[in-house]
Structure 1
Amino acid sequence: MASKLTRRFRLPTAVIRQASPLSQHKRVDLLGRVLTDHDLPLRPRVAAAIVLLYAQPLSRVVRLTIDAVIHDDNQVLPRLGEPPSPVPAPVADLLLSWIPNRDNMNTATNRDSRWLFPGRRAGQPMHPDALSALVNDLGIPTIASRVSAIREHVLEMPVPVVADALGYHQVTTAKLAAQSGGAWSR
């Protein structure tokens, strides 16, 4: 534009939509289906369980390593924030059955991958869009599920606790708590 090679142009404004959260009943039903329907593929079931329970975006889920899943005696603790969050027994069983059976581990360059969701490229995690498509194919809306989970957490626990445990910023969780109608400032 400065050298008069192009006309003046204007970028369209970005439309940012906020996903409406699922009801708590629907979220729990979807989690139950993920845990009990053994005919569904294991990889999207594990990813969906993490989203439904811990409100993690898939961009963060694919960056998890198997080292971030701590297995102490009778407990499984994924390190999503500090301190690591405990996992209910059915989800722990699902997670522990996924780790030794991860996909994309057979190539010579990917055999020692530490990613919880290894990608097709050696040394790279799975792309979040690819994992999102797999989870959505199960009938689980990832964004609405994540919004529902985080809102439920900020209504049940103090905002700083949720922020630290799930790896969110405290300002973000405080805004979500205010939008959800809960205030832990007292």
Structure 2
Amino acid sequence: MGTRHMPRLAIPNRPTTNPHPMGQHQRIAALQRVLADDSTSPRVRLAACLVLLFAQPVSRIVRMTTDDVVHDGQHVTLRLGDPPTPVPEPVADLLLDYLQALPANTPAINQNSPWLFPGRRPSQPVSPGTLRDALRKLGVPAEKGRTSAIRQLVLQAPAPVIAQALGYHDKSTTRIATEAGAPWKNYAPGDHTR
């Protein structure tokens, strides 16, 4: 190219499948901002909380149904894995308020839909692209927020426990834990009281 024997080439920049995560302080600040923002749709705020707190990909969030929310009167849990994952208080209030207002905010064509995030097409959830765009507009990068959340979670608990609680494959969380430098990989299983 320098001697002009070949044309200039532009090499496309392709993002990796696992982008560099947000910093922990950025993720917590984004979560606090989302919870305090009453001007944004509860639908988008709830989706942002699921990304930033539970490391759920947008493609899985749109497939959640109202049956995935379990409220026994005292506690709110989500069926992300087995057993259901407890939802902390400020997010639980947002989730319950969203569920209560859901019938009024659902398009008429999709009134009897089981989806937690119903779309405009009959019997279909909202498109992942639509929800991802709404999160981006809110200032929550879905991929980076999810990556940050899962890395922080595997630093706080063993990777198989996180995998089971959030519906991930244990090999994925083990790989993420290794990349994040989690101390749990150094513990041998079994009874150590002998």
TM-score by length of 2: 0.85
Partner SS for 2:110:
coil
Deviations 1:96-127 (A, max 9, x none): 111122376241x4111110000000110011
For residue 112 of structure 2, give the secondary structure of its aligned residue in structure 1: coil
- 1:159 maps to amino acid: A
C-alpha separation in 2, matches of 1:128 and 1:163? 22
In structure 2, the residue matched to 1:181 is 181
1:132 corresponding residue in structure 2: 132
Distance 1:139 1:16 in 2: 19
Task: Quote the Cα distance in structure 2 between the aligned partners of 1:136 and 1:167.
Answer: 24
Alpha-carbon offset, residue 50 of structure 1: 0.5
Rounded to whole Å, the distance in 2 between the matches of 1:138 and 1:171 is: 32
User: Which whole-Å CA distance do the structure 1 matches of 2:20 and 2:153 have between them?
Assistant: 16
| 1:38 aligned partner | 38
How many percent of aligned residue pairs carry the same amino acid?
47
SS in 1 for 2:44: helix
Read off the aligned partner of 1:121 and give its amino acid letter.
R
**Bigger proportion of residues as helix:** 2
Kept after mapping to 2: 8 A contact 1:21/1:145: yes
CA distance in 1, matches of 2:165, 2:90: 20
Q: Deviations over 1:42-99 (max 9, x none)?
A: 1110000000000000000000001000001211101000111001110000011111
Distance 1:16 1:130 in 2: 20
Instruction: Report what 1:120 is aligned to.
Output: 120
Conserved 8 A contact 1:104-1:110: no
Secondary structure at 2:86's aligned position in 1? coil
**What's the offset of the Cα at 1:183?**
3.5
Q: Which residue of 2 aligns with 1:96?
A: 96
- 1:105 maps to a residue whose letter is T
Q: Could you say which structure has the larger radius of gyration? A: 2
Judge conservation of contact 1:105–1:112 (CA < 8 Å) in 2.
no
Q: Which runs of 5+ in 2 are unaligned?
A: 1-10, 188-194
Q: How does 1:151-162 map to 2 (within 5 A)?
A: 151-162=151-162
Query: Would the aligned equivalents of 1:104 and 1:119 in 2 still touch at CA under 8 Å?
Result: no
1:114-146 CA deviation, whole Å, 9 max, x = no partner? 100000001100110100000110011110000
Instruction: Name the amino acid aligned to 2:169.
Output: H
